[in-house]
Amino acid sequence: MPYPLDVLHATFGFTQFRGVQAEVVGRVLAGERTLAVMPTGAGKSLTYQLPSVMLEGTCVVVSPLIALMHDQLRAAEAVGIRAATLTSADSNRAETIDRFRAGTLDLLYIAPERASTGYFRELLGSAPLCLFAIDEAHCVSEWGHDFRPDYRLLKPLLDQFPSVPRLALTATADAHTRADILDQLGIPAEGLIVAGFDRPNIRYAITPRDNTTRQIMDVIAEADGPGIVYAQTRAGTEKLAEALAASGRPTRAYHAGLDPAVRAANQAAFVASEDMVMAATVAFGMGIDKPDVRFVAHAGLPKSIEAYYQETGRAGRDGDPAVAHMFWGADDLARARQRIAEVEPHRRAGEQARLAALAGLVETAECRRAVLLRYFGENPPAQCGNCDNCLKPPATVDATVVAQKYLSA
């Protein structure tokens, strides 16, 4: 068998593993069951793609969205991995099944609803398998934010093939969801691997709202480079884009209600720009790879800590200093509570816990980064030195300093 690092070079053209990738790949190659929690963009796909190239037989990848599968398929084929999808949308089913049975596929992407069919179980039994990869594994948890009942059918299916290793992958899992994933997919607690979520070059600041436009103008004035302002409504993005033009920066709006051609043009203009301010709904950012975004401002409370992490994570991908500044009001929290009262009862506890965690982050006098990273299961230092609370400690601390000066005078 070749060395993983050789395959990393030869097939993927990368010089080294990133973060926990090597550890995850090592466990997979050793046949162990694993849950990898890695932030978006950390390179989760590689952790099953690489073993699929190295091992005999096919890696079956469970993925919740057909669009996602097709992106993955194109990317895999682009580097010469033998991959196929098996979905209701495919016209080449017979050919795919032949390749699968013949053991000439590295990857087979399937939707979770396949898992329940007897036909598919038999098909799996008739093909050489090397790995089950369960992408977006938080979908298996009712506690998670994106529960997909079909994911619950996976464990009985996987249990039919107890010797085939399992790799569950997710970017978004608080402690409760993680425990649930381990349980629902039959992965031992020691199989949990959590990647580093820290983005040390992002300076976090969270401020109560008074005049949002003026506050965001201040962020723009201090940030030298392009930025994204997240508004909560479509109309809000257009109003902000108009108001923020007074900053002298080029500004545009982006939301799902815009004409597709306008949306695409605005996105392209932003990607090409060195100083544009994009006022957008959360529809903006997914799949946009712009390394030099210098600030992300939230004109209101994001949906969850996961969403906040994801959205602020679009700043500073080049590693240079960047700012994430959120402006929020008590009315945001009240609206969020109202929204939770309307969700289905079985999801309420999870939503309430997520909102409580978010409220904890915005209201804390502690280091923001420490609170954020602890949420993702890390054990960070108490002070990061690069968030509003570390840089400008709350009044009580100032008072002590003043008192000390007074006493030593």
> Which residues of the chain form contacts with Mg ion (CB under 5 A)?
44
Three-class DSSP category at 105: coil
46 binds, among Mg ion, ligand ADP, none (CB under 5 to 8 A by kind): ligand ADP
User: At its nearest, how many Å lie between ligand ADP and the CB of residue 126?
Assistant: 30
Cβ-based nearer residue to Mg ion, 109 or 204: 109
Cβ-based nearer residue to Mg ion, 33 or 44: 44
User: At its nearest, how many Å lie between Mg ion and the CB of residue 306?
Assistant: 14
Cβ-based nearer residue to Mg ion, 133 or 336: 133
18 binds, among ligand ADP, Mg ion, none (CB under 5 to 8 A by kind): ligand ADP
Residue of 89, 156, 160, 88 lying closest to 124 (CA atoms): 160
241 binds, among Mg ion, ligand ADP, none (CB under 5 to 8 A by kind): none
Cβ-based nearer residue to ligand ADP, 69 or 219: 69
17 binds, among Mg ion, ligand ADP, none (CB under 5 to 8 A by kind): ligand ADP
Cβ-based nearer residue to ligand ADP, 46 or 315: 46
Cβ-based nearer residue to ligand ADP, 44 or 99: 44
Q: Are the beta carbons of 108 and 17 closer than 8 angstroms?
A: no
Whose tokens are 């329940």? That residue is 116
Contacts 24+ apart (CB under 8 A), 159-162: 159/186, 160/121, 160/124, 160/125, 161/124, 161/125, 161/129, 161/132
| Gap between the Cα atoms of 265 and 79, Å rounded | 29
155 binds, among ligand ADP, Mg ion, none (CB under 5 to 8 A by kind): none
User: At its nearest, how many Å lie between Mg ion and the CB of residue 311?
Assistant: 17
63 binds, among ligand ADP, Mg ion, none (CB under 5 to 8 A by kind): none
Q: What sign has the CA pseudo-torsion 380, 205, 387, 311?
A: positive
Cβ-based nearer residue to ligand ADP, 195 or 371: 195
Could you please report the per-residue DSSP string of 131-177? EEEESSGGGG-SSSSS--GGGGGHHHHHHTSTTS-EEEEES---HHH
Compute how many other C-beta atoms are within 10 angstroms of the C-beta atom of residue 320: 12
Q: Name the residue whose CB lies closest to ligand ADP.
A: 43
Could you please report the per-residue DSSP string of 351-403? HHHHHHHHHHHHH-SS-HHHHHHHHTT----S--SSBHHHHS--HHHHHHHHH
Q: Name the residue whose CB lies closest to Mg ion.
A: 44
300 binds, among ligand ADP, Mg ion, none (CB under 5 to 8 A by kind): none
**Binding site residues, ligand ADP, CB under 6 A:** 14, 17-18, 21, 38, 40-46
User: At its nearest, how many Å lie between Mg ion and the CB of residue 15?
Assistant: 21
Could you please report the per-residue DSSP string of 106-132? SEEEE-GGGGG-HHHHHHHHTS-EEEE
